[in-house]
Structure 1
Amino acid sequence: MDYLAMLSHLFRQLGYNGWVVLIDETELIGRLGKKARLTAYKNMASFLFPAQYSRLESTFTMFAMGASFVEDVIETKHDFENMATVYVDRSEREPTEKVLNHIIAAPQLQPLNQDEILGVLKQVQDFHGRAYGWESRLDVREVLKATETRGYLLRTRIRAAVELLDQLYQYGQAGNIQINDLGEPHYWDDDLPSLDECVQE
């Protein structure tokens, strides 16, 4: 944390108003053991509430995580109860508790509507054409139609669109597109020991 505090101070000294830190796929915290997860939440507090829990200057942080995190991790893995048993003292619990409540209250992004998905696929088509120096002459609605059966996740639709465009570029026609489901992440059970528990044994 000292290194990040030094960076935030350096940015201010260089004349910047601050910096933005985006941490993606935060739901991977769910794969950690009980104690490691609580430590991760405590570290998140340093970014989300820098004035209280760290020396970060002018730092704005965004954490992105899957919509099912609260149900799949916080509730299923009993993080509030675990916090109460691991951190006996109220002052030790406070940063973790604030983060958990912050996650629960966080706004959820709405799924993209049809026009927004169409816009993304149009950009994929344009980038593909620029990358290979060709024009697909395919209406983007046909790309959308070809990706509709591939699932609801945007990344899966993008993969299907790239596969379709690759086939059209290479062979002049597109066959059946097979895209494996990427799905939502699966979280490990708590019966796996944490690193701290392994080191202490």
Structure 2
Amino acid sequence: MSTAPYLIGYARVSKGDDQSNAAQLRALTAAGCKRVFEESASGGRWDRPRLQEMIGQLRDGDVVVVWKLDRLSRSLKDLLHLMEKIEAAGAGFRSLTEAIDTTTPAGRMMMQMVGSFAEFERAMIRERTSAGLAQARLEGRLGGRRRKLDDKKRREIAESVVAGRKSGAEMARLYDVSEPTVSRIVAEYRQREAHEALA
């Protein structure tokens, strides 16, 4: 005859909040938790001591129970990482409010779906970032910002300074840029001219 799993509760409230763990404790006790780890810390923190202590003590067949998913973590990425650690210990996971139970086939499927959506979201973010960088390169932008001066203006600045028609300070005021920017433009122009002369 199979024995009932050992249920371990985890209750958390954020530091500085007026709320207490009382409602969570009642729900976890009613669910049959034999032991409850209580914590007062932000759900965005990974280094929560009671959470780490609980995970370190998990044994095969245990079930971690929370009142709501956000009690475990407010970050989907961290939530999935915690699920992996719980699963690696041979334990299950149950959320009372969302009715998720990874000890059942339906619960496992639900968490796999959540993981798939999270991976899809990460892939979409990477794709958008790559597309944005590619477009920036096409427009002559390297760090994301559009260049203030186009090639024609840069050439006018360099030629005016090199020919002695205007000073670097005058061109900086005229084109509303800094003097170091003008100096860089002139240096690039001279380097390019020297390279072309040698070619």
The normalised TM-score by structure 2 is 0.26
Specify which structure has the higher proportion of strand: 2
The normalised TM-score by structure 1 is 0.26
Report the structure number with the largest CA radius of gyration: 2
Specify which structure has the higher proportion of helix: 1
Q: Which has the higher contact order (CA 8 A, sep 6+)?
A: 1
